[in-house]
Amino acid sequence: MIWQHHHRPSVPSTNQWAMEWLRHTMPQGPVLFTTDHQTEGRGQRDRRWSSEAGRDLCMSLAVPVQPHWNPTLVNMHVALAVQDLLSQHLPDHQSPGAIRVKWPNDVLVWHAGTHHKAAGILVENVWRGSQWSTAVIGVGLNVGSSRLSRSYPAVSLAEAWHVELSPSDLAQDLAKRLIQRLNGGVEGLMEDYHDALFGLGEPRTYVVHERTWQGVFRGVNAEGQGRFEWTTAREDEGLPPSEWLASSEVQWCW
């Protein structure tokens, strides 16, 4: 199912490596890039994604784009593929709701009374002229590293679930799940994605355009925008009580 698999002991970024490889090659099928140690991993909004050598999953999958694909729906497929993978290793004492997708595509797992970030996704697109030719799907998954001592609310699977898993085996499994999902069409995709969403319908605090608001996250449309209903009074400032926003406009307050 995977056309090629390239592995290096260490790279700055698997997405960067894949993008450089694609400058010289037109893939005929999915190509997997993995490393034991990613030294300059990137997440959404150019944030740094850290990993521990040999203990975490760092991979990118370059996939030729099909004519009917939509970038927003590809992101949804990827997040759900990661959720599918983690569900296979969920301990018996945890419910399926222990794994959630934080819009747009972070994956959280339940630990010690709250959800913590376990995986991050960065999808970058390659264009040849005006044609979207390839999607480069980068996934970082905290498998066996130490996370709970850090300030950001992250956790590894070893810490949350007391499991020992092989990052290389997980990479192969996830690549297959990604390909299956992307080739499986979009029927039921929006429903599955909304069922997986973290914080849906819950009053929370958000920062939008450097202002702090109380509101409720109601869902996502096919263009990837999130709908928010604000409980903080906004009418006096001429601001709408509800609106659709891009994920880059919204910061979640933990």
- Looking at residue 161, its pLDDT comes to 95
- Looking at residue 153, its pLDDT comes to 82
The angle at the Cα of 187, spanning 247 to 77, to the nearest 5 degrees, equals 40
Query: What is the third-level CATH fold of 4-196?
Result: BirA Bifunctional Protein; domain 2 (3.30.930)
Distance from C-alpha of 71 to C-alpha of 77, rounded to nearest angstrom: 10
Distance from C-alpha of 139 to C-alpha of 60, rounded to nearest angstrom: 6
How crowded is residue 126: how many other Cβ atoms within 10 Å of its Cβ? 19
Would you list the DSSP string of 101-147? EETTTEEEEEETTEEEEEEEEEEEEEEETTEEEEEEEEEEE-SSS--
- Looking at residue 45, its pLDDT comes to 58
Strands in 194-241 per DSSP E: 203-208, 211-220, 226-230
Of 134, 75, 150, 135, the residue nearest 107 (C-alpha): 75
Distance from C-alpha of 253 to C-alpha of 234, rounded to nearest angstrom: 19
Distance from C-alpha of 35 to C-alpha of 14, rounded to nearest angstrom: 7
pLDDT in 10s for each residue of the chain, 254 residues: 678 999 999 999 999 999 999 999 989 899 999 999 999 877 665 667 788 899 999 999 999 999 889 999 999 999 999 999 999 999 998 888 999 999 998 999 999 999 999 999 999 999 888 889 999 999 999 999 998 777 678 999 999 999 999 999 999 999 999 999 999 888 999 999 999 999 999 999 999 999 999 999 999 999 999 999 999 888 778 889 999 999 999 999 97
